[in-house]
Amino acid sequence: MAAPTATKITAEVVAEHGLKPDEYKRLLEILGREPRICELGIFSVMWSEHCSYKSSRVWLKTLPTSGPQVIQGPGENAGVVDLGDDDAVVFKMESHNHPSYIEPFQGAATGVGGIMRDVFTMGARPVANMNALRFGSPEHPKTRHLVNGVVAGIAHYGNCTGVPTIGGETNFDAGYNNNILVNAMCVGLAKKDKIFYSAAKGVGLPVVYVGSKTGRDGIHGATMASAEFDDKSEEKRPTVQVGDPFTEKLLIEACLELMATDCIIAIQDMGAAGLTSSTSEMADKGGVGIELNLDLVPQREEGMTAYEMMLSESQERMLMMLKPGREAEAQAIIAKWGLDFAVIGITTDTGRMVIKHLGQIEADLPVPVLANSAPMYERPWVEPKKQQEILPEWVPAPNALLGTLKDMMGTHHLASRRWIWEQYDHMVMGDTVGRPGGDAGVVRVHGTKKGIAISCDVTPRYVLADPEMGTKQAVVETWRNLTAVGADPLAITDNMNFANPERPEIMGQFVASVRGMAEACKALDYPVVSGNVSLYNETNGISIPPTPAIGGVGLVPDWTKIADIKLKGVTPQGENSMLIVIGAERGHLGQSLYQNHATGKFEGAPPPVDLEAEIKAGRLIRALIRSGIALSVHDCSDGGLLVTIAEMALAGGAHGGSRNATGVGVELYPYEGKLPAHAIWFGEDQGRYVVEVTPQKAEEVLERARLLELPARIVGRTGGDSLTLKGETALPLTELRATHEGWMKGLMGG
* DSSP H or E stretch at residue 322: strand 317-322
Going by C-alpha positions, the residue among 94, 314, 341, 52 that lies closest to residue 208 is 341
Question: Is residue 540 exposed (0-12), middle (13-18) or buried (19+ Cβ within 10 Å)?
Answer: exposed
Identity at 14, one-letter amino acid code: V
Rounded Cα–Cα distance for residues 553 and 488 (Å)? 9
Exactly one of 17, 50, 588, 597 is catalytic; name it.
50
The active-site residue out of 96, 98, 634, 678 is 96
Q: From CA 274, how far away is CA 117, in angstroms rounded?
A: 13
Dihedral sign for Cα atoms in the order 617, 620, 625, 628:
negative
Collapsing DSSP to helix, strand or coil, 532 comes out as strand
Quote the CA–CA distance of 280 and 60 in Å, as a whole number. Answer: 22
Q: Measure the CA–CA gap between 73 and 88, rounded to whole angstroms.
A: 13
Assess whether 50 carries a catalytic annotation. Answer: yes
Listed in order, strand segments (DSSP E) in 621-719 are 632-635, 666-668, 689-693, 712-718
User: Strand pairing of 451-457 and 441-444?
Assistant: antiparallel
Burial class (CB in 10 A: 0-12, 13-18, 19+), 202: middle
Helix extents (H) in 629-671: 641-651
d(CA 551, CA 187): 10
- CA nearest neighbour of 108 among 137, 134, 138, 140: 134
| Separation of alpha carbons 249 and 163, rounded Å | 9
96 classed as catalytic: yes
Helix axes 37-46, 21-31, angle to 10 degrees: 120
Residue 447 falls in which region: left (phi positive, over 0), alpha (psi -120 to 50) or beta: left
The residues assigned a catalytic role are 50, 96
